[in-house]
A = this chain, B = another copy of it.
Amino acid sequence: MPISLHLADDPPPERADAARNRHAVLAAALRLVDHCGVDAVSMDAVATEAGVGKGTLFRRFGSRQGLMAAVLNESETQWQAAVLSGPPPLGPGAPPMGRLLEFGHSRLHLNLTHAALIRAAGRAGARSYAAVSFSAMHVRYLLGELGVRGDIALLATSLLAPLEVPILEQQVNQEGISLARIEAAWDDLVRRVAV
């Protein structure tokens, strides 16, 4: 009596020790990142903290960027859930324009909060595919609801681009622009784009 069946064999099932090690590595990485800051965490340190060999880290996560992307994914998943099914105006229930503006503010703050981690994750594995494509999909949907005409997909990209980490960090750290002003400018941009 098998406890879990494995029907479509495309993804070969993960071995028990592999799963255990993956969780140990993720927990160790999260611990070290919280404690020392992203940039001070080396792969050797994570391996030692997790009690595994270095080869294991690279086998499971491919690279340092991949590991950081996996750590980042923990919080991104929560945020995505809040967008898809949390309370309005971020979640469903509010009018589309209200949701869109709230979405931008929320993403802006999240990008600044996780700036170092997002940078360390680079474009490996999860980020440029999970976070970016989720956000793009959601903005496309809201632009559709608003009845915006034109190349919705690229308009969505254009609205998300000014919220990217390097740009926000330039504005906040180099030019000393306040968050309130950035939010207001983004609201203005959205209103101009959304007819």
Residues of A that sit less than 8 Å from B by CB: 123, 128, 132, 150-151, 154-155, 157-158, 161-162, 164, 166-167, 170-171, 174, 177, 181-182, 184-186, 188-189, 192-193, 195
Contact = CB atoms under 8 A, between A and B. Distances in A.
A188 B132 contact: no
Contact of A185 (B132, B155, B177): B155
A151 B188 contact: yes
Contact of A157 (B154, B157, B162, B192): B162
Given A161-B164, A166-B164, A151 B193 contact: no
Contacts of A184: 151
6 contacts: A128-B174, A150-B185, A150-B188, A154-B171, A158-B189, A193-B193
A14 B185 CA distance: 44
Contacts of A162: 154, 157-158, 161
